[in-house]
Structure 1
Amino acid sequence: MHSTSVLRQPAGNIAQALATFAHDLTLAAIPETVRTKSAHHIVDAIGLAFASHHFPFAGPGLNGIRAAAGSGNATVIGVDVQLAARDAALANGYLIHGLDFDDTHPASIVHPSVACLPAALALAESTNASWGQMITAYVAGMETAIRLGRAVKGGFHHVGFHATGIVSHFSSAVVAGKLLGLTAEQIVCAQGIAASTASGVQVFLENGAWTKRMHPGWGALAGITAAHMAQAGFAGPQRPYEGRFGLIDTHLQGLASEVDADSIAEELGSNWTMLDTSIKPYPVCHFIHGCAEAALQLRRELGPDAKIERIVCELPEATLPIVAEPASAKVVPKSDYEAKFSAQFVVAACFARERFTLAELSDQSLRDPHILSLAAKTECIKEAASNFPKYFSGAVSVTLADGRTLRAHVPMNLGSGERALSLDEIVGKFRGNAGLRLPAQGVDTVLDALLSATPETPVRDVMRALG
């Protein structure tokens, strides 16, 4: 640890700025665009929670959580189970993030909804809050998660932490503080307590372990606990981010010099960073989306019978260690999770199947000789003119047996910026995901509950439809 910090100190206390913003925020102060986008992202997240039940990781994770959980009145999505709020938040976070198909803020490289929504739903239900109160807390949490991730410029990933796993502790503490009616000073304290629990190491990348899935839910559990402790008068650090041996120094070490700490509080309440959050059209790491889309464009152009000799994927340089290296392992992923983080496999599957859905992550797909032969012909290199991290850009070139080379470039990935998914596209994604768990009538019931909720609707009424 550096005895002297290399962090440029912010002009004001970061936790205080976030706490004051959250404490003072009202539903009326949230622009209509932000409220509408919130509703869309919540629909997307809930659909993913249902879909996760279809996969082998759901059972063991939920059984373990239930074995340790306290009884309570907070719903676990997709099952007839109610637990204590913090345990339900852990379970729902696990389900929402389980498929890595949840929303992403490109510049912060965090999945913000899962860093806020599990705590918001569980506490709002257990305290009998209204949908409007829940949305207000969720928006405060979204701004917290995104701004913390954005300020470190990818730093958490570079030193081996899962950024969503880190920021979810703080965003959940802010969400819980808002729903519990804490004072601004108590919300500062809750963030301070959360600094002692914030972790999430990326060692899961070695063997496709399931731990990444639990990180955001663990942040929700910790954030709810921190808010209750602050409410009870527990003394927490006042400068959890920028203080000596605070989050930035301990987690980023030498990279702390690159952190833009002032940006966290800048334009809070006027510049809504959550409007830049992307909903994923493909169930893979967002870093690969530009290349996946480019591959699908080329596949449509070439048709199914093209003889492909070589594929070159151009990816943002900072993402190569995560989604392209080591190449020997990436071309033959051993699990659905490894496949999601393999640009070689994803692009190969796009050429082989002219799509990339959850079906392309099945055991059968992982053993498909056509996909694997194309993956073996795929090389990943640095994208020269990248729009990352603003967008998940990418390009793909194919060399054919007849000597031709074709290239497709995607500067702005589908789901981002002005290419944001429409409500119809989001509902379509929801139906595909929730339909893995529910009959068609059940899918309609859940959609209706989510889309017809008004600010006055009790969250309990909505959650009843989700159980």
Structure 2
Amino acid sequence: MHDGSGATAQLAEWVHGMQRATLDAAVAHQARRLVLDCLAATIAGSATPVAAAVRDLVAEMYPGEHARVVGGGRASAAGAALANGTAAHALDIDDGYTPGSVHPSAPTIPAVLAAAESTGAPADTVLRAVATAVEVTCRLARAAHPATREAGFHNTALAGVLGAAAGVSVVLGLDRADVVSALGVAGSHSGGLFEFLGSGAEVKRLHAGKAARDGLLSAHFARLGVSGPATVLEGTNGYFPAFARGAWRPADLLDGLGEQWALRDTYVKVHPCCRHLHGAIDALLELQAEHDLAAATAVRVETYSVAAAHAHTTFGSFIDAQMSLPFAVAVTLLDGEVGLPQFDEAHRASPAVAALAARVEVVAGAEFDARYPGERPARVTVHRAGRPSLSREVAQPRGEPSRPLDDEELTAKFRLLADPVLGAGRAAEVAAAVWAFDDIAAVMSELSDEQEGKSR
């Protein structure tokens, strides 16, 4: 059991060792899954207005030929990481890790891929870098969650920038001291406030892109001799004391590094909205498969406090709808499915959705708080006019390690998101190339040409 002393040095030692490590077959396979799912989110997200705005900014302020931008064109490696990281998180359909309440791939994989393109790194190095970046992000997030979230910080941006720096360090082959500095520099780029919640602000989308860009730059700063503090994580004014008020668990960061892989416990999103909404959605879908819920008059959702905080009933914007439990419950009951169409402008402006959402009660319960973050439990009770009420509880949403999507289902998700943007032929080629994972530049070249989809 670790006491946290020398945490930065221990983590950096492991990251440095990943430059020469041989990935276990199961870990390597999971890394491919992570890349495929991240690219699915990036391709679909590239068609959104916020991703288009970031691409315009990148073309203006980060010109270059080093790496491809999903949606069209090339840019500097930092610009590509910013654009692709933003697109990966633009629809909230990217993967996550429940113990850390974090999206680990969107802030890290775009940085690794951009660095790999710009340096010509071989595929096996890229795969090790992906595994490293996601693992560091998951472990950092879980070591301090929920303290960081309770302090108002978004773990995706907070931990993701250090994960990105770790992954790019592997691509660049930094020596041990420079890996320490890369993490140290990245610590000063950590940030991301949750004040966007319920405000309609799209800045959340930038959190992943900013982390990817800054993590990549942090590794390059270290390569060029810019030093960072060797105690950036555990020091008096370091990451954990600052962001978690010192409430962190060293064992969650350091125990089993390289043996017990957190990245194997990441989840795949089935619905394009905040993960805290998925338990209630899945419970309702299960009830709908067995009962007639057309006569529903009201719904009570009991869940853990972090999820219950998403109880706002204003959802004029896309992001507000994605973050609203009442909205999710309403569209689930009305449509019987929860995909991207359910979050469109017509649904957000629907009087029927608004009326039903107003009759959704969201309650935080101590019994659910005790199970989180090990689980994301939710219990829904549907009240029906003239008929008995129905209840269903879900401990974990679909896509969690205990309820996984297999490779065929993951590829189907990729095709569902990528086909409308790339076209079926190109999407199939990209999926096959990711599973093969022998030429990452060829994969990215398929994603940067003019796309068929239009901005949402």
Question: Paired residue for 1:334, among 309, 316, 326?
Answer: 316
The amino acid across from 2:140 in the alignment is L
In structure 2, the partner of 1:6 is none
In structure 1, the partner of 2:373 is 389
**Cα distance in 2 for residues equivalent to 1:25 and 1:295:** 43
Question: Matches of residues 44-55 of structure 1 in structure 2 within 5 Å?
Answer: 44-55=37-48
**Cα distance in 2 for residues equivalent to 1:143 and 1:449:** 23
**Cα distance in 1 for residues equivalent to 2:19 and 2:173:** 12
Question: Paired residue for 2:303, among 315, 328, 332?
Answer: 315
Question: Paired residue for 2:163, among 157, 160, 171?
Answer: 171
In structure 2, the partner of 1:370 is 352
SS at match of 2:106: helix
Question: Matches of residues 42-191 of structure 1 in structure 2 within 5 Å?
Answer: 42-79=35-72, 81-191=73-183
In structure 2, the partner of 1:3 is none
| Counterpart check, 1:230 vs 2:222 | yes
**Cα distance in 2 for residues equivalent to 1:40 and 1:95:** 18
**Cα distance in 1 for residues equivalent to 2:224 and 2:48:** 40
| Counterpart check, 1:299 vs 2:288 | yes
Using the TM superposition, give the Cα deviation of residue 34 of structure 1 relative to its aligned residue in structure 2, in angstroms: 1.4
Question: Paired residue for 1:259, among 234, 243, 248?
Answer: 248
TM-score when scaled to structure 2?
0.94
The amino acid across from 2:439 in the alignment is P
The amino acid across from 1:207 in the alignment is S
Q: Is the 1:149–1:163 Cα contact (8 Å) retained in structure 2? A: yes
**Cα distance in 1 for residues equivalent to 2:18 and 2:415:** 33
Q: Is the 1:21–1:140 Cα contact (8 Å) retained in structure 2? A: no
Q: Is the 2:377–2:395 Cα contact (8 Å) retained in structure 1? A: yes
In structure 1, the partner of 2:453 is none
In structure 2, the partner of 1:18 is 11
- Count of residue pairs the alignment pairs up: 446
Q: Is the 2:58–2:75 Cα contact (8 Å) retained in structure 1? A: no
Q: Is the 1:49–1:96 Cα contact (8 Å) retained in structure 2? A: yes
**Cα distance in 2 for residues equivalent to 1:69 and 1:272:** 35
Identity of aligned residues (%): 29
**Cα distance in 2 for residues equivalent to 1:361 and 1:263:** 36
In structure 1, the partner of 2:25 is 32
SS at match of 1:404: strand
Using the TM superposition, give the Cα deviation of residue 226 of structure 1 relative to its aligned residue in structure 2, in angstroms: 1.4
Question: Paired residue for 2:440, among 443, 448, 459?
Answer: 459
**Cα distance in 1 for residues equivalent to 2:353 and 2:194:** 27
In structure 1, the partner of 2:211 is 219
**Cα distance in 2 for residues equivalent to 1:380 and 1:301:** 23
Could you give the per-residue CA deviations for residues 303-359 of structure 1, whole angstroms, max 9, x where no partner exists? 36x2112100111123222x12xxxxx223111100111011001111000000000
Q: Is the 2:160–2:208 Cα contact (8 Å) retained in structure 1? A: yes
The amino acid across from 1:233 in the alignment is G
**Cα distance in 2 for residues equivalent to 1:26 and 1:230:** 16
Q: Is the 2:93–2:271 Cα contact (8 Å) retained in structure 1? A: yes
Query: Structure 1 residues 26 and 68, CA, compared in 2 at 3 Å: closer, same or farther?
Result: closer
Q: Is the 1:239–1:246 Cα contact (8 Å) retained in structure 2? A: yes
Q: Is the 1:112–1:145 Cα contact (8 Å) retained in structure 2? A: yes
TM-score when scaled to structure 1?
0.92
In structure 2, stretches of 5+ residues that fail to align are 449-456
In structure 1, the partner of 2:194 is 202
Query: Structure 1 residues 366 and 27, CA, compared in 2 at 3 Å: closer, same or farther?
Result: farther
SS at match of 2:287: helix
**Cα distance in 2 for residues equivalent to 1:242 and 1:28:** 26
Using the TM superposition, give the Cα deviation of residue 362 of structure 1 relative to its aligned residue in structure 2, in angstroms: 0.4
Using the TM superposition, give the Cα deviation of residue 384 of structure 1 relative to its aligned residue in structure 2, in angstroms: 5.1
Using the TM superposition, give the Cα deviation of residue 156 of structure 1 relative to its aligned residue in structure 2, in angstroms: 1.7
SS at match of 2:301: strand
In structure 2, the partner of 1:327 is none
**Worse-superposed segment, 137-146 or 387-396:** 387-396
In structure 1, stretches of 5+ residues that fail to align are 1-8, 325-329
Q: Is the 1:289–1:413 Cα contact (8 Å) retained in structure 2? A: yes
**Cα distance in 2 for residues equivalent to 1:53 and 1:86:** 17
Question: Paired residue for 2:342, among 332, 344, 360?
Answer: 360
Using the TM superposition, give the Cα deviation of residue 26 of structure 1 relative to its aligned residue in structure 2, in angstroms: 5.4
Using the TM superposition, give the Cα deviation of residue 435 of structure 1 relative to its aligned residue in structure 2, in angstroms: 2.0
**Cα distance in 2 for residues equivalent to 1:320 and 1:432:** 30
Q: Is the 2:4–2:234 Cα contact (8 Å) retained in structure 1? A: no
Using the TM superposition, give the Cα deviation of residue 300 of structure 1 relative to its aligned residue in structure 2, in angstroms: 2.4
